Amino acid sequence: MSTGTNDVMIEAHGLTKSYGRDTRVLDGVGLRVARAGIHALLGPNGAGKTTTVRILATLTTADSGTARVAGYDVVADRRRVRRVISLTGQFAAVDETLTGEENLRMMARLSGLPRARARSRAGELLERFGLTDAARRQAHTYSGGMRRRLDLAAGLVGSPEPGVLFLDEPTTGLDPRSRRELWQVVRDLAGRGAAVLLTTQYLEEADQLADGVSVLTEGRVVAEGTPEALKSRVSGHRLDLVLGSREAYLRLATRAVHHSPETLTLGIPTDGTAAHVRSLLDEIDPHRTDVDRFSLHRATLDDVFLALTAEKKEAPAHV
């Protein structure tokens, strides 16, 4: 993929936003998404993901900083930006009492397509998103996965493709199979040239789908890079050790990324292989007296944040 500036479809620099005097929601967020790229804004609840998307989608304005979408300034050229983007997620406007087909035809008409073109466009999107069989059913009868696909189709119906897509937590609440189906739809859209910015709380989703990730916490990008580079920065698993004494707990606490003093438990990063776990245990507890029990589990997003924020509190980490 070329990285020429013409290929940058979403670009933001130093976005800040506060609500009231004390609530600083964004504290200098920047990002770039290329044509045919999928970029994930990964962060916990309240990190500022939706606010970032709303600024880029012209639904709200930043206090400072600049952003361009498809080359247009999101404030000065708001109308042009609105013509090239589609936005789905918590903003979707599907009418539950209409069928899938009726919803898409109505939205196509509202966006200015003539009747015949609206019908063919609706049919084309239903087909593409695997909804042809459900086209004549009311939207409220759809499963969660079908409903998300209809939301996506509704977002695309009036925008020129490939365009720019904003997906706010597109798979939250979906079962694993529907989640995978939706991922495939998003990949196909990027494959056709769309630039996709999605928000997610799930490391796995960013990993599966995105070619670039910005880790957002408390309104700041604390790390950015490819999923691979990001993962290599944090271990994939966490070894939780239940220690036999408070002395042992305190002695080992600095090595841990997770602390639970009430239960004398420390979480230590590991790659999860038997060899590494064995050598960690030998190193931490050479006399086999300090560790009572241990358990191994996949690192959660919290662990990733803790590791990343502990590493670099000052400046964003480019990985």
What whole-number distance in Å separates Cα of residue 79 and Cα of residue 72? 9
Minimum Å distance from CB 39 to ligand ADP?
15
**Residue 269 near residue 257 (C-beta atoms within 8 A):** yes
- Binding-site residue total for ligand ADP (CB under 6 A)? 11
What whole-number distance in Å separates Cα of residue 175 and Cα of residue 173? 7
Minimum Å distance from CB 23 to ligand ADP?
5
How distant, in Å, are the alpha carbons of 84, 87, 224, 225, 279 from that of 53? Answer: 15, 9, 17, 19, 44
Asked if 48 is part of the footprint of ligand ADP (rule: CB under 6 A), the reply reads yes
Asked if 301 is part of the footprint of ligand ADP (rule: CB under 6 A), the reply reads no
What whole-number distance in Å separates Cα of residue 19 and Cα of residue 132? 44
The contact mask relative to ligand ADP for 169-188 (x = CB under 6 A, - = no) is --------------------
Minimum Å distance from CB 151 to ligand ADP?
17
What whole-number distance in Å separates Cα of residue 86 and Cα of residue 9? 13
Minimum Å distance from CB 43 to ligand ADP?
5
Among positions 34, 37, 38, 50, the unique one binding ligand ADP when judged by CB under 6 A: 50
Sheet holding 8-19, edge to edge: 23-34, 8-19, 64-69, 72-73
The contact mask relative to ligand ADP for 8-47 (x = CB under 6 A, - = no) is -----------x---x-x-----------------x-xxx
Asked if 222 is part of the footprint of ligand ADP (rule: CB under 6 A), the reply reads no
Determine the 3-state secondary structure of 34 from DSSP: strand
Which residues of this chain interact with ligand ADP, rule CB under 6 A? 19, 23, 25, 43, 45-51
